[in-house]
């Protein structure tokens, strides 16, 4: 097997894990089990980020969604009275959901396999197989200079700069909303 086929196989397994977890979320009979399936789906999405070369997003996915959001959901479920009492699904819309879901999945699948996806090829600075120092590599044509990472969309430095400059207010508002939600959950739990 070539490296590309292994990468495609791992990507397919991670996609299957994500979709299987999502299916488990909607098919579970209890809210607690549904939350556990959601954690599996989040882990699958983190695996997809790893296979796509977005390591930072994978780490954020694991820390924020698998770690924080899932624990918050599990705490909310555990603080709810009689959460495990209802073993029967409380809807009768499975048939309607299938009528909508099957054509949607086939349509998205057809679109995904027939779309013209652009492939970005990374530019490599040739060194002729020689071992060179970082200072010598910085002087090569096309090499990034100090501070360039702040202007490269998708880099961690760029993300940090954008979050702390252009989107600082939104970033802080989200943190305040999460803090208010946590205080509200504590107040509700005490009653």
As a whole number of angstroms, the distance between CA 117 and CA 175 comes to: 36
**pLDDT tens track, the chain, 191 positions:** 788 888 889 999 999 999 999 999 888 888 888 888 999 999 999 999 988 888 888 888 888 888 888 888 887 777 777 665 555 555 677 788 889 989 999 999 899 888 887 765 444 444 444 454 555 545 544 545 555 555 666 667 777 777 778 888 887 888 888 888 878 877 777 76
* Arithmetic mean of pLDDT over the chain: 77
As a whole number of angstroms, the distance between CA 95 and CA 101 comes to: 10
- Token duo for residue 121: 């090829």
- Token duo for residue 174: 């989200």
Residue-level pLDDT at 22: 92
On whether the CB atoms of residues 60 and 69 are closer than 8 A, the answer is no
- Tracing tokens 């390591």 back to the chain, one arrives at 55
For 176, phi then psi, to 5°, come to: -70, -40
How far from each other are the two terminal CA atoms of the chain, in whole angstroms?
A: 60
User: Is the alpha carbon torsion for 110, 2, 51, 155 positive or negative?
Assistant: negative
On whether the CB atoms of residues 150 and 161 are closer than 8 A, the answer is yes
């Amino acid at each position: 097997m070539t490296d590309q086929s292994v990468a495609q196989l791992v990507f397919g397994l991670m996609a299957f894990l994500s979709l299987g977890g999502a299916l488990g979320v909607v098919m579970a009979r209890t809210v607690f089990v549904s939350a556990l399936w959601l954690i599996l789906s989040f882990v699958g999405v983190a695996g997809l980020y790893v296979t796509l070369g977005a390591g930072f997003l994978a780490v954020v996915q694991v820390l924020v969604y698998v770690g924080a959001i899932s624990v918050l959901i599990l705490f909310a479920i555990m603080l709810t009275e009689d959460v495990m009492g209802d073993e029967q699904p409380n809807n009768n819309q499975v048939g309607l959901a299938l009528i909508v879901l099957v054509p949607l999945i086939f349509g998205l699948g057809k679109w995904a396999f027939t779309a013209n996806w652009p492939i970005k090829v990374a530019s490599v600075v040739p060194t002729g197989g020689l071992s060179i120092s970082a200072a010598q590599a910085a002087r090569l044509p096309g090499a990034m200079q100090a501070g360039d990472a702040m202007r490269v969309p998708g880099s961690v430095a760029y993300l940090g700069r954008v979050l702390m400059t252009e989107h600082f207010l939104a970033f802080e508002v989200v943190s305040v909303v999460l803090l208010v939600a946590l205080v509200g959950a504590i107040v509700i739990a005490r009653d």
